[in-house]
């Protein structure tokens, strides 16, 4: 079974923030490739889920900094030990808005959601689907944690929508 977690924060107030890039990619993936399926909340897995054949899509509802709880619970329940079957989609301030990277065992310098997952799993060796959200053009006056919690501008929404579509297509080809 392949498991794809899209990281973000639950709640309407976070829906259009940079930090919810993982949720945005999964929403686009579902819309494009599984339109007949819908996310539903599972308290057992602390996540909104779509389960389809040998694929599970999950959006943790634990808030970003506690994402490891949801990831660990689901992997343990399904006895998934090969982390090559785990994909985690997340925002990345190390990449420009509109760019992405899919790398095994390589994430950004700092990301609290990933740190939570690393602690829960005792490993960084899974697929990191890094979605660039940095459009600051060198202006670092705002700390990163403040910047990622801001709402996307209309231009940024267009760019992130395109990259979500690209990432969804790449994931579809790998899953």
Tell which residue, 91, 71, 109, 106, has the closest CA to residue 24.
91
For residue 136, give every residue at least 6 positions away whose Cβ sits within 8 Å of its Cβ, in sequence order, or none: 142, 147
Q: Is 19 a catalytic residue?
A: yes
Helices in 34-143 by DSSP H: which ranges?
67-77, 112-121
Integer Cα distance of 62 and 41 in angstroms = 12
Which of 19, 46, 90, 128 is labelled catalytic? 19
Task: Name the residue among 150, 118, 109, 115 with its Cα closest to residue 133.
Answer: 150
- Listed residue (41, 8, 12) closest to 24, CA to CA: 8
Is 2 in contact with 56 (CB distance < 8 Å)? yes
Known catalytic residues are 19
């Amino acid at each position: 079974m392949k498991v794809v977690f899209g990281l973000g924060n639950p709640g309407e107030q976070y829906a259009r923030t940079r930090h919810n890039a993982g949720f945005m990619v999964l929403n686009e993936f579902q819309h494009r490739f599984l339109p007949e399926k819908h996310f539903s909340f599972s308290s057992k897995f602390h996540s909104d889920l779509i389960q389809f054949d040998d694929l599970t899509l999950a959006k943790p509802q634990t808030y970003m900094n506690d994402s490891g709880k949801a990831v660990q619970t689901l992997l343990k329940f399904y006895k998934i030990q090969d982390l090559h079957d785990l994909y985690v989609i997340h925002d990345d301030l190390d990449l420009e808005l509109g760019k992405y990277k899919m790398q095994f065992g390589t994430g950004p310098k700092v990301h609290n959601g990933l740190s939570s997952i690393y602690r829960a799993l005792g490993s960084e060796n899974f697929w990191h689907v890094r979605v660039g959200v940095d459009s600051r053009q060198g202006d670092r006056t705002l700390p990163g944690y403040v910047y990622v919690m801001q709402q996307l501008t209309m231009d940024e929404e267009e760019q992130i929508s395109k990259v979500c579509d690209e990432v969804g297509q790449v994931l579809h080809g790998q899953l």
